Structure 1
Amino acid sequence: MAEMIQPPLVDSTACFCRVDAGLKTVAGAKKYVPGTKLCLQPDIKLSIHPTRQKPSRSDRNRSQSSLLPGLPDDLAIACLIRVPRVDHRNLRLVCKRWHRLLAGNFFYSLRKSLGTIEEWIYVVKRDRDRKVTFHAFDPIYQLWQPLPPIPKEYSEALGFGSAVLSGCHLYLFGGKHPLKGPMRRVIFYNARTNKWHRAPDMLRRRHFFGSCVINNCLYVAGGENEGAHQSLRSSEVYDPKKNRWSFISAMSTAMVPFIGVVYEGKWYLKGLGSHRQVLSEVYDPGSDSWGPVYDGMVSGWRNPSASLDGKLYALDCKDGCKIRVYDEDTGSWSKHIDSKAHLGNSKALEAAALLPLNGKLCIIRNNMSISLINVSGPEDAGPRAEHLWETITGKGQFKTMMSNIWSSIAGRNRLKGHILHCQVLQA
């Protein structure tokens, strides 16, 4: 009989199959056993450990629980973006997916496109015990909302600035710490996550300075520094996209601003110079240049003031119940709206801020009372002017523990605190 062809025998001493399992792979075995060969047995694998294939993105999505049981995620999101802002704090507590959704820009971009985004008033106030506190007011439900306390470095600070970037980030910057002196520190509160965060420090230490926001960039100028308490000329800008501060052109003269406003794309400042004289300057970000201002706008300009729909408004009395508007053609301030119901000249009733809110002007007073004025009405409303005013606090909305907080905030036993900053944030 013909000799049967036998398959070659496997040299067990040179076969990777006999290599100790601790070497894990063929490559590892070959490194420690020179001259070895790959075993010809067909069931030998290069690795003794089975490989696991990572699930695809679609598989992971199928394994995740839906945002709302029984609905696809796109329909669930369509439902969630219509939930009033007052309930967002509770929505974040439902699950991790809801928390991530409500903390992201996508959720609020949908709310903005749908027209459901809401504006709240945020107040930074120095209370009777000289501590800085933080409050938020929902103008729709007319309720004060709980907020995380201001970080410790600003709980007793003086002369710090406040501004809003990206519509939802409230920045506090600079100021003077009672022990550490002037600061460069910058922090911000995110209205979407209800948390405080750090931001890059300013380039100069300063307090009692001017600040504004143009094209979503934060500008600061002037103020004082530690030492001889000399006024500063330096100016700088923070760009959130680059996440850094940069110096810009210095002011023409050193100044400690006490009033400022952005009007027609330029930043107007009015303050005291090194010799306590009143100075006025304007900054043009397009040309990065400062210049003096001598026209009628500055001469009749009073604090607080705000621009809305291309017009510049200022309060004409201490309680804010009379508003004037700047007429650029004549270069003068004219009477616009008078409520005919003035509140008084006490510190508690003094108007602390004038802000645009939902297309109207909003006046916030030291006793935390808030009024809305419809400035889109007739220029001279005459006896009907009082119908353009609306008070949105004090309507019996505080029926729980908030009523006690309101009593403390409002200072019914003669207010000794006062408002430092007011801003409007969207979410």
Structure 2
Amino acid sequence: MDRVLHPPLVDSTACLCRVDTGLKTVAGVSRYVPGTKRCLQPDIKPSIHPTRNKPARGDRSRNQFPLLPGLPDDLAIACLIRVQRAEHRKLRLVCKRWHHLLASNFFYSLRKNLGIAEEWIYVVKRDRDGKISWHAFDPVYQVWQPLPPVPKEYSGALGFGCAVLNGCHLYMFGGKDPLKGSMRRAIFYNARTNKWNRAPDMLRRRQFFGTCVINNCLYVAGGESEGVHQCLRSAEVYDPNKNRWSFISDMSTGMVPFIGVVYEGKWFLKGLGSHRQVLSEVYQPETDSWYPVYDGMVSGWRNPSTSLNGQLYALDCKDGCKLRVYDEGTDSWSKHIDSKMHLGNSRAMEAAALVPLSGKLCIIRNNMSISLVDVSKFEDLKGSSAEHLWETIAGKGQFKTLVTNIWSSLAGRNRLKSHIVHCQVLQA
């Protein structure tokens, strides 16, 4: 009598998919055993404790301690998002759940949607020894907040770029290392986690180049590179959604930009060519094209500038106590906003940056004094004085008079100890 062969019993909770010892893979089963179906759990291995079931993710969350005792988590989050940004560093230290919450995009998207996200001013400085440091200013409490140190590769770098993406990521990229020369490196600081991270390297080594942000994409162009005796014409863009750099069209002429601004969706650059001649070009992202520009905006454009609510502004004096406004109708810088209180021409009082901050213009000087200008009320003045539009929010050195500057120069005490190389605004 023939023996009847029965297939081996298979435990569904610890299936190894071995119908036959000669079959090495689940895919092999379909070839050798007609009508067989591929196992739904091919990667599950036998458990040491097969009768012990792990709790589901939802069950584990129910066993966690609440964010705030006595409150559901949704109400606790509604309370935590309203805490001032200056206290977030302390909140992250309370427990792991608070740390993960405050490091999440969800937490800050709620703050942004409710209109309670705060903007801080980040200043990157170089001291007289060439070392880079940086500082964050909180306009609400009007104090400078502590920050983690700049990564070693940028502690003494020259000619590097600085820009903000996603509102909360401050990027440093390119530049020249004192020992290694021109760099392609890129790093970024996350204002939500208070930490530095690596980003993909640029496609080309470059230093002293132009940079801007359009539609949350980072553009760089021109500059210099060691071993190249001419100014660079190449340009590239970084898309944070794709997390990669791509080349864009080359500039018409290579240059080392010394000033740049985004206005009406176009990137304007002004700099020096290979023969030290002054050049100006504009880039249109929609057509990926460069072309020279010689209009009244560029010809009268010399100092740091920025656009706000469709209007273009620029510093008009060394101490930043007077602004110029571009008039598109006349193609000239014919309008001015004057504070009527000038601080002198010392290097310490020199205005290094002009950036938008909470709907106003922010002027930052080398001595870390900061002024705000409410330009939204400028059109309502109709020829009247504009002094009341100005406000001092960081007053270090603000009240140093012209006479004091003269005496400091005569005494040899006016040598600049440090100066600002970049200034950005981050939101969290």
Under TM normalisation by the shorter chain, which class is it? 0.7 to 0.9
Deviations 1:193-252 (A, max 9, x none): 111111000000000000000000000000001024420000000000000000000000
Offset at 1:49? 4.9
Residue identity opposite 2:293 in structure 1:
V
Residue identity opposite 1:420 in structure 2:
V
Residue identity opposite 2:298 in structure 1:
V
Residue identity opposite 2:194 in structure 1:
N
Name the counterpart of 1:392.
393
Name the counterpart of 2:35.
none
Offset at 1:57? 2.6
Residues 293 and 25 (structure 1 numbering): CA distance in 2 closer, same or farther, change over 3 Å?
closer
**Matching of residues 138-153 of structure 1 within 5 Å:** 138-153=138-153
Task: Find the aligned partners of 2:158 and 2:119 in 1 and give their Cα distance.
Answer: 27
Name the counterpart of 1:288.
288
Name the counterpart of 1:175.
175
Residues 318 and 100 (structure 1 numbering): CA distance in 2 closer, same or farther, change over 3 Å?
same
Residue identity opposite 1:131 in structure 2:
K
Task: Find the aligned partners of 2:259 and 2:229 in 1 and give their Cα distance.
Answer: 20
Deviations 1:251-286 (A, max 9, x none): 000010000000000000000011111000000000
Task: Find the aligned partners of 1:49 and 1:205 in 2 and give their Cα distance.
Answer: 56
Name the counterpart of 1:262.
262
Deviations 1:104-124 (A, max 9, x none): 100000001111100000000
Name the counterpart of 2:424.
423
Work out whether residues 206 and 224 of structure 2, in 8 Å CA contact, stay in contact via their aligned partners in 1. Answer: yes
Structure 2 SS opposite 1:258: strand
Structure 2 SS opposite 1:112: helix
Residues 330 and 60 (structure 1 numbering): CA distance in 2 closer, same or farther, change over 3 Å?
same
Residue identity opposite 1:422 in structure 2:
C
Name the counterpart of 1:329.
329
Task: Find the aligned partners of 1:357 and 1:345 in 2 and give their Cα distance.
Answer: 25
Residues 25 and 74 (structure 1 numbering): CA distance in 2 closer, same or farther, change over 3 Å?
closer
Identity %: 80
Structure 1 SS opposite 2:260: strand
Work out whether residues 232 and 254 of structure 1, in 8 Å CA contact, stay in contact via their aligned partners in 2. Answer: yes
Name the counterpart of 2:113.
113
Task: Find the aligned partners of 1:213 and 1:280 in 2 and give their Cα distance.
Answer: 18
**Matching of residues 126-137 of structure 1 within 5 Å:** 126-137=126-137
Structure 1 SS opposite 2:394: coil
Q: Which of structures 1 and 2 has the bigger CA Rg?
A: 1
Work out whether residues 367 and 396 of structure 2, in 8 Å CA contact, stay in contact via their aligned partners in 1. Answer: no
Task: Find the aligned partners of 1:319 and 1:375 in 2 and give their Cα distance.
Answer: 18
Task: Find the aligned partners of 1:353 and 1:142 in 2 and give their Cα distance.
Answer: 18
Residue identity opposite 2:393 in structure 1:
I
Offset at 1:334? 1.6
Name the counterpart of 1:314.
314
Offset at 1:385? 1.5
Name the counterpart of 2:43.
none
Work out whether residues 262 and 268 of structure 2, in 8 Å CA contact, stay in contact via their aligned partners in 1. Answer: yes
Name the counterpart of 1:298.
298
Residues 211 and 114 (structure 1 numbering): CA distance in 2 closer, same or farther, change over 3 Å?
same
Structure 2 SS opposite 1:275: coil
Name the counterpart of 1:53.
53
Name the counterpart of 1:409.
none
Name the counterpart of 2:41.
none
Residues 381 and 367 (structure 1 numbering): CA distance in 2 closer, same or farther, change over 3 Å?
farther
Name the counterpart of 1:277.
277
Deviations 1:385-412 (A, max 9, x none): 211100001389xxxxxxxxxxxxxxx9
Work out whether residues 262 and 307 of structure 1, in 8 Å CA contact, stay in contact via their aligned partners in 2. Answer: yes
Structure 2 SS opposite 1:376: helix
Task: Find the aligned partners of 1:286 and 1:341 in 2 and give their Cα distance.
Answer: 43
Task: Tell me how many residue pairs correspond in the alignment.
Answer: 379
Task: Find the aligned partners of 1:226 and 1:121 in 2 and give their Cα distance.
Answer: 33
Offset at 1:48? 9.1
Name the counterpart of 2:11.
none
Residues 204 and 222 (structure 1 numbering): CA distance in 2 closer, same or farther, change over 3 Å?
same
Please list every run of at least 4 consecutive aligned residues from structure 1 whose deviation after the TM superposition is greater than 4 angstroms: 24-28, 46-49, 380-383
Work out whether residues 346 and 414 of structure 2, in 8 Å CA contact, stay in contact via their aligned partners in 1. Answer: no
Work out whether residues 307 and 313 of structure 2, in 8 Å CA contact, stay in contact via their aligned partners in 1. Answer: yes
Task: Find the aligned partners of 1:26 and 1:229 in 2 and give their Cα distance.
Answer: 66
Task: Find the aligned partners of 1:383 and 1:146 in 2 and give their Cα distance.
Answer: 41
Offset at 1:58? 2.5
Name the counterpart of 1:91.
91
Q: Gaps (5+ residues) in structure 1?
A: 1-15, 17-23, 32-45, 397-411
Deviations 1:28-79 (A, max 9, x none): 9x97xxxxxxxxxxxxxx9995422221233111111110011100000000
Residue identity opposite 1:192 in structure 2:
R
Correspondence 1:241 to 2:244: no
Residue identity opposite 2:95 in structure 1:
C
Residues 69 and 312 (structure 1 numbering): CA distance in 2 closer, same or farther, change over 3 Å?
same
Work out whether residues 369 and 394 of structure 1, in 8 Å CA contact, stay in contact via their aligned partners in 2. Answer: yes
Instruction: Please give the root-mean-square deviation of Cα atoms over the aligned residues, in Å.
Output: 2.5
Residue identity opposite 1:421 in structure 2:
H
Offset at 1:381? 6.5
Residue identity opposite 1:51 in structure 2:
T
Task: Find the aligned partners of 1:392 and 1:129 in 2 and give their Cα distance.
Answer: 29
Offset at 1:330? 0.8
Structure 2 SS opposite 1:274: coil
Work out whether residues 326 and 335 of structure 2, in 8 Å CA contact, stay in contact via their aligned partners in 1. Answer: no
